[in-house]
Amino acid sequence: MSQHRQSATHKQSSSPANVIEVCEVSKRFGTVTALDGVSFAVRRGLVTGMVGPNGAGKSTVLRVILGLHRPDTGRALVDGRPYRDLSRPLTRVGSLLDASALHPARSARSHLRWLAHSQGIRATQADRLLERVGLASAARRRCGGFSLGMRQRLGLAAALLADPAAVLLDEPFNGLDPEGIVWMRELLAGLAAEGRAVLVSSHLIGELQQVAQHLIVLGTGRVLADAPVAELLTAQGPERADLEGVYFRLTQNAVRYQSSNAWRQA
Amino acid sequence: MSFLHQLRAEWAKFHSVRAWILAVLGAAVVTAALGPLNLSTQHAPSGGPGPTLVRGPDGQAVNDSFYFVRRHLAGDGTITARITELSGITVTGPDRVSHEVQGWAKAGIIVKQSLTPGSPYAAIMLTGAHGVRFQDGYTHDTAGPARTVPCWLRLTRSADTVTGEESSDGTHWQRVGSVRIPGLAADAPAGLFVTSPSTVHVAAIDVPQTNPAAAVATFGPVALTGAWTPEPWSGAQFGGLGTSGDYPPGVDGGFTGNADAALTVTGAGDIAPVVGGSVLGNGATVEGFVGGTFAGLIALVVVAALFITTEYRRGLIRTTLAACPRPVRVLGAKTTVVACLGFTAGTLGATVAVLAGHHIADAHGIYTVPVTTPTLLRVEIGTGVLSAAMAVLALALGAVLRSGATAITVVIVATVVPYLLAVSPGLPTVAAQWLLRVTPAAGFAIRQSLPRFAQVDSSYIPPDGYFPLAPWAGAAVLCGYCVVAFTAASFLLRRREV
């Protein structure tokens, strides 16, 4: 434990650009090892992509960062502190874990307003964010009737509500139409350009291809790669500048849920 | 500071779900309306309006009914009498009568402030089974020696102080009690009295029964000293029969004989506070007015449980805990919201129910047992406390169980079911009383408005509105369950991962 603390302090002092640091985090659920010594940092001003097959541990590591899961060993820090010690956490880290986590009878505006109250920020922020994510016209509608794409937009508004230094988004492209995907990429690039640390998870490497500058590849609970996108592409060789190829090479032995070959051949 | 933020957030969450706000309003409305509505379907007892209850000096309902053989004492003086016999005439079944005397049959000497029923008095008396007593103000009962006949009694008036003494031989006197009656009239009605409450038979399971009973007492020579007005003794039934007295068929109040030798007096009624139960008859009670609390509580329980369980169901709990990573603070804020809403809905509903209930009871010629203002406030605020506590219990169990349907079922099975079992006739009294001691249903005791007195026999059992625990003690049991549930929920919320 003391070892982890030391390394965290060391990393923080050496890299003030790291808003989020995950240090040697392991987490088991029963017999399943969800995370196995995961370490990485999320830096200011970059979009960091986190990719990996289903079951790689992407959602689990996000929950560990947000203090929703306690790691068995290791620790996750936000601004050098555990998330649970933050007094108004949404002003430090905005997150979107599950766009469907809404009360269906509550309006989009009410959803953002209670979040604003919980952080002691002005409730008028709710309307500004709804405007920003393009939901102003649906502000007073019950979000039970929202499409997945609209829920993603609302979730993004919630994540950005308190103007956080870091943004964690779990599969934000799910349910978006092509126009929405382009919009989301531009928004993520804009957030990074504003100096925020942006961590985006996805199981589809293609979604991240044009927006992430840094990539963390997870497979069966381990970090398989943690490098700038440019570096990964260079390593692949000049003839195949394709992230998908990099991804499959990295994860070929680290897939937890795989269809059987027999099925593939058939 | 941050708790207030979370409190504001939880309140914003609550009021932004319209169905929840409507349910709380509905809870207040049914609490206010069901009791009075139920009353409006009742009709006055046949034979016109029911009796008007007499109020005693403290504002509570009293019985002031006895056979009074009186003169007037226009100043200081004493009255001394020997009681040589005290027996009864008690109906024991169809066409059957015994000479058993009721335990709280009373024969003795009384001084009253005036001839208005409900006026202050002081009396020394021999009772059927509880020895000599000195009583005043309807509720005050001082025990003297445990004597039977024959015994001597004396009442002395000195200005506005009245003192009762007793003796076993007519020579050695012992003071039993003394009381000041401010404003005692210059010529106060005073004399001998005999009264007897009806029998109360509380069987283990059956509905309690009452039967008419009268008492017959023979007084030896009556000796007077002091400022007695020169007039003959006159006798009459004073104050009707009240709620707890009734002459057996063929028996009337009256007196025979001579005060200088022996005077035999027959009387029925009681000089005592009105209590509930079988002796009350068809009167309306304040807790009857707030009978709609039940339906209101169910609505509140459902909403309070859903307030947290929907967050688990939708995964919203993660958003909540990401916004406020202190689970106990979240639980505290939610608890505060449902407790305040429950308290407001319950108190407002009960206040309106009491006003409407009195109004409807008057309009239908049904008498209402008067209660003191503190009791009335306790019933109204107590309904709020009960509603708040039930909401908190449902919320905390919702947090523990994470399933709305399960939490709601558990709360209802733990509170409403024991209450209904206990107050419906059919369950043995002992079982009913234990249910109302150890289950959260004990909290319903906060609403009992009917008093209980050792010197008045009645069926003090749950179906008649009598709880084994005192009002606030019952509320404390319910609150104890809330504290346990809240503690368990806090522990689990801190430990669990979401």
Q: Is residue B51 part of a domain?
A: no
Distance, C-alpha B278 to centroid of its chain: 12
How would DSSP label each residue in A85-125?
G-SSGGGTEEEES-TT-S-TTSBHHHHHHHHHHHTT--TTH
Q: What is the mean pLDDT of chain B?
A: 90
Whether residue B169 is found in the same domain as residue B254: yes
Q: Is residue B48 part of a domain?
A: no
Whether residue B12 is found in the same domain as residue B161: no
* A10-14, A58-62, A247-251: the lowest-pLDDT one: A10-14
Q: Is residue B52 part of a domain?
A: no
CA angle B286, B287, B289 (to 5 degrees): 65
Cα(B143)–Cα(B456) distance, integer angstroms: 14
Query: Which residues of chain A have a CB within 8 Å of the CB of B12?
Result: 110, 113-114, 117
Query: Would you state the pLDDT for residue B245?
Result: 85
Whether residue B254 is found in the same domain as residue B308: no
For residue B395, pLDDT over 60 is answered with yes
Task: Check: CB of residue A58 under 8 Å from CB of residue A50.
Answer: yes
For residue B482, pLDDT over 70 is answered with yes
Which of B227, B250, B273 is where one domain is finished?
B273
Chain B closest-CA separation from residue A234 CA (Å): 38
Whether residue B443 is found in the same domain as residue B462: yes
CATH classification at residue B192: 2.60.120.200
List pLDDT tens digits, range B199-241.
Answer: 887 665 566 778 899 999 999 889 999 989 888 999 999 988 8
Q: Is residue B315 part of a domain?
A: yes
List pLDDT tens digits, range B86-99.
Answer: 999 998 878 888 89
Q: Is residue B480 part of a domain?
A: yes
Chain B closest-CA separation from residue A157 CA (Å): 13
| Contact across the interface for B9 and A114, Cβ inside 8 Å | yes
Query: Which residues of chain A have a CB within 8 Å of the CB of B10?
Result: 114
Chain A closest-CA separation from residue B411 CA (Å): 24
User: B47 pLDDT band (50/70/90 cuts)?
Assistant: very low
Whether residue B490 is found in the same domain as residue B426: yes
More confident residue, B335 or A254: B335
Query: Which residues of chain B have a CB within 8 Å of the CB of A90?
Result: 322-323
Q: Is residue B324 part of a domain?
A: yes
For residue A264, pLDDT over 70 is answered with no
CB atoms within 10 A of CB B56: 24
Average pLDDT over residues B6-28: 97
Whether residue B255 is found in the same domain as residue B290: no
List pLDDT tens digits, range A74-96.
Answer: 999 999 999 999 989 999 999 99
Chain A closest-CA separation from residue B358 CA (Å): 40
Whether residue B333 is found in the same domain as residue B435: yes
Chain B positions contacting chain A at CB under 8 Å are 1-2, 5-6, 8-10, 12-13, 16-19, 310-311, 314-316, 318-326, 497-498
For residue A262, pLDDT over 80 is answered with no
CA-closest candidate to residue B297, choices B342, B265, B328? B342
Is the minimum CB–CB distance between A100 and chain B shorter than 8 Å?
A: yes
Whether residue B26 is found in the same domain as residue B140: no
Q: CA dihedral defined by A60, A66, A69, A71, rounded to 10 degrees?
A: 80
Which of B253, B273, B293 is where one domain is finished?
B273
Query: Which residues of chain A have a CB within 8 Å of the CB of B1?
Result: 120
Query: Would you state the pLDDT for residue B61?
Result: 81
Average pLDDT over residues B276-299: 83
Query: Which residues of chain B have a CB within 8 Å of the CB of A68?
Result: 318, 321-322, 497-498
| Contact across the interface for A100 and B314, Cβ inside 8 Å | yes
Query: Which residues of chain A have a CB within 8 Å of the CB of B498?
Result: 68
Q: CA dihedral defined by A11, A12, A16, A18, rounded to 10 degrees?
A: 80
CB atoms within 10 A of CB B31: 31
Contacts of B72 (CB under 8 A, 6+ apart): B187, B188, B189, B190, B228, B229, B231
Percentage above 70 pLDDT, chain B: 95
| Contact across the interface for A115 and B498, Cβ inside 8 Å | no
Going from the C-alpha of B102 to that of each of A27, A167, B396, B464, B467, the distances in angstroms are 78, 83, 51, 22, 25
Whether residue B116 is found in the same domain as residue B39: no
Going from the C-alpha of B131 to that of each of A44, B98, B453, the distances in angstroms are 92, 21, 17
Range of the domain at B412: 3-43+281-495
Whether residue B154 is found in the same domain as residue B181: yes
Question: What are the two backbone dihedrals, phi and then psi, of residue A54, each rounded to the nearest 5 degrees?
Answer: -55, 135
Give the amino acid at B415: T
Going from the C-alpha of B158 to that of each of B155, B171, B179, B223, B483, the distances in angstroms are 10, 21, 11, 17, 56
Cα(A142)–Cα(B409) distance, integer angstroms: 29
Pairing of strands A47-51, A197-202: parallel
Residue A196's SS3 state is coil
DSSP β-bridge partners for residue B70: B191, B234
Whether residue B285 is found in the same domain as residue B268: no
Task: Check: CB of residue B177 under 8 Å from CB of residue B164.
Answer: yes
Task: Check: CB of residue A68 under 8 Å from CB of residue A142.
Answer: no
Q: Which of A215-219, A230-234, B483-487 is most confident?
A: B483-487
Task: Check: CB of residue A27 under 8 Å from CB of residue A71.
Answer: yes
Nearest by CB: A105 against B18, B320, B498: B18
For residue A6, pLDDT over 60 is answered with no
| Contact across the interface for B13 and A103, Cβ inside 8 Å | yes
Give the amino acid at B173: W
Task: Check: CB of residue B309 under 8 Å from CB of residue B394.
Answer: no
Whether residue B300 is found in the same domain as residue B269: no
Cα(B328)–Cα(B2) distance, integer angstroms: 12
Is the minimum CB–CB distance between A84 and chain B shorter than 8 Å?
A: yes
Chain B closest-CA separation from residue A114 CA (Å): 4
Query: Would you state the pLDDT for residue B207?
Result: 66
Q: Is residue B403 part of a domain?
A: yes
Is the minimum CB–CB distance between A124 and chain B shorter than 8 Å?
A: no
Query: Which residues of chain A have a CB within 8 Å of the CB of B322?
Result: 66-68, 89-90, 95, 97
Predicted structure pTM score: 0.84
Provide the domain count of chain B.
2
Which of B256, B273, B290 is where one domain is finished?
B273
Q: Is residue B90 part of a domain?
A: yes
User: B336 pLDDT band (50/70/90 cuts)?
Assistant: very high
Q: What is the mean pLDDT of chain A?
A: 87
